[in-house]
Structure 1
Amino acid sequence: MTAAVFGTGLTMGLSLIVAIGAQNAFVLRQGLRNHHVLAVCLTCALSDAALILVGVTAFRQIAAVLPWLDPVMRYGGAVFLLVYGFRSARAAIAGSGALAAGEGEDAGLARTLATCLAFTFLNPHVYLDTVVLLGTISTRFPGQEASFAAGAMTASCLFFFALGFGARRLRHVFANPVAWRVLDGVIAVVMVLIAMKLLVGS
């Protein structure tokens, strides 16, 4: 069962983090330009791990004090995922164009990391994904939250390093708008499935 919970955390983590956003676009640009890729990927992975840990360890305690919080967050998270899934489906149908890598000079390590942290901690969706949604889902596995958190953290680490270091090999893929339409379609399906699980509960 622990392996299954780890797999659930891994799947949920990948499903949430794969959505195209400012943070992922920044990591992708750094990978395509080959600028501070290791530092950026490590910063993103560690930041996500810290937020996931907060969500998994603290959310259940807060929910115990405020018993109404769990269903509110669960249903609220489901609504958010359904809306996000709808937006992804609309983007898949309409086509939003390829994600440009962006050009420019190397900003330096300190400035690059500061920008990376801003994309991470100034984005409210990051808290919703890691602290609220993953924290809420982890409460469905009492006593095995650590396995769920480990799976979600592993997903974050795998994704950021794959995106950062694999960007150059996938330059031709990311330059194709059709690839993003396919990815948006997959994201839409996954978001709806997760929303259904939250609504049904355990």
Structure 2
Amino acid sequence: MLFLPVLAGFAAGGSLIVVIGAQNAFVLRIGLLRRHVLPVVAICALSDAVLIFAGVAGVGALVRAAPVALEIARWAGAAFLIGYALIAARRAFRPGALEAAMAPEMSLAAAALGCLALTWLNPHVYLDTVVLLGSLAATHGDGGRWLFGGGAAAASATWFSALGFGARFLAPLFARPVAWRVLDGAIAVLMVTLGVSLVVTP
């Protein structure tokens, strides 16, 4: 019976995490470049775990009661996403920018900061992990809710590991520059769409 909350948490966490979003697009690109994959995957998984267990602990009520904080995150997140979209669009339309973006000098600090910004400046991550998963965890009782949270955190770690380290299997497809340009073009469109949605969605 103790396995049921874990399984429920894994299923719920996976259903929220395995979607096309800014964070997943960033991890996929890092995985394709094969640079700083482990730190980026670890940042994503640990960030989700912190947020999930905060929700299990009952922080969701505080998040709902702090609309100003979510509003600040909403505008900051929109600005970051649109800025990142412009960088991706520049790579897609200017081959020189693409070659620079794939240079071996890409720093760990840049990758880590980008990952942290895409994770913590997205207000939806608080609603999905802290509020929604926290509420679902509460239905499993005092003991079961922590098992539920563990299952959800495990789903996050599994997904980001598969996405980051599994991206290398797509390497033959991305051996051609045109494939990178298509990917960056798609990322630019995705980032702009998400950034605008943060602004126009109340």
- TM bucket by the smaller chain? 0.5 to 0.7
| Structure 1 residue 2, shift from structure 2 partner | 1.5
| Structure 1 residue 107, shift from structure 2 partner | 2.7
Moved over 4 A (4+): 171-177
Tell me the TM-score normalized by structure 1: 0.63
For structure 1, the residue ranges without an aligned partner over 5 or more in a row are 64-68, 70-99, 178-202
| Match in the other structure for 1:124 | 123
- Identity rate, percent: 51
Question: Aligned partners of 1:123, 1:10: CA distance in 2, in Å?
Answer: 22
Q: Which amino acid is 2:120 matched to?
A: F
| Match in the other structure for 2:17 | 17
| Match in the other structure for 1:115 | 114
Query: 1:18-167, aligned counterparts within 5 Å?
Result: 18-59=18-59, 62=61, 104=101, 105=103, 106-143=105-142, 144-167=144-167
Q: Which amino acid is 1:139 matched to?
A: A
Contact 1:59 1:136 in 2 (8 A): no
| Structure 1 residue 171, shift from structure 2 partner | 5.1
| Higher percent of residues as helix | 2
Contact 1:43 1:113 in 2 (8 A): yes
Aligned residues: 140
For structure 2, the residue ranges without an aligned partner over 5 or more in a row are 65-91, 93-97, 184-202
| Structure 1 residue 147, shift from structure 2 partner | 0.5
Contact 1:10 1:154 in 2 (8 A): yes
Question: Aligned partners of 2:2, 2:57: CA distance in 1, in Å?
Answer: 17
Tell me the TM-score normalized by structure 2: 0.63
| Structure 1 residue 170, shift from structure 2 partner | 3.8
